[in-house]
Amino acid sequence: MRTTGKIVGASALLLTVAACGGNGTVAAPVSSGPPSSSVSVSSPPPSPSSTSVAPPPVSGPPKSRPTQGVPPGDTAPAAGQVNASALPAGYPHDVTLAEGGSVVVIQAEEGGCDKLSAKAGEQTAAQVVVLVTLAKAPHGQMCPMHVREISLPVRLAAPLGGRELVLKPGP
């Protein structure tokens, strides 16, 4: 019984090493002689011809905005400058400022048939209101189950500056 356990263990180890090794070398054949209590596997160092080739550099600006963090060129609003207390749970409230504060960009996730949109509302010397609308599919409509990362840019009449940014649910 112990011998069977050793054979099964050695076979499992050998299969794991062979499956994970994947460096293009061929494993030595296993002898059918008496079972051994230890197995050693070694592989030669990779040859220069087997190293991977780096992909060509990407030229030009990225085609889409990053989905996490503040995108390059954008800035985060000052602490306490965004008031999203009027938004229902589940509405997006991650905001960055682009083009020197002239564009408010709401980072959001859309799923299935749900569609998010945002537009500028009232803009005064003290505050800017952005209306965020979530359109849901009619009850009973079948929708795909996937999530998309989106950016909702909203152009302001003037840069946000020190004004308060108020996010409210739209019509």
Q: Residues for the chain: how many in total?
A: 171
Whether residue 156 has pLDDT greater than 70: yes
* Residue 107: inside a domain: yes
pLDDT 10s digits, 9-27? 666 655 554 555 545 444 4
DSSP string, 94-109: EEEEEGGGTEEEEEEE
* Residue 61: inside a domain: no
pLDDT 10s digits, 62-82? 445 555 566 787 899 999 999
* Residue 89: inside a domain: yes
Q: What is the pLDDT of residue 1?
A: 55
> 37 is in which domain, residue-wise?
2-43
Indicate whether 87 and 141 sit together in one domain: yes
Number of folded domains in the chain? 2
Whether residue 94 has pLDDT greater than 70: yes
Distance CA(83)–CA(53), nearest Å, equals 49
* Residue 67: inside a domain: no
* Residue 158: inside a domain: yes
Distance CA(107)–CA(92), nearest Å, equals 7
CA–chain centroid gap for 57, Å, is 22
Distance CA(115)–CA(84), nearest Å, equals 19
Could you tell me the two tokens for 165?
Answer: 């940014």
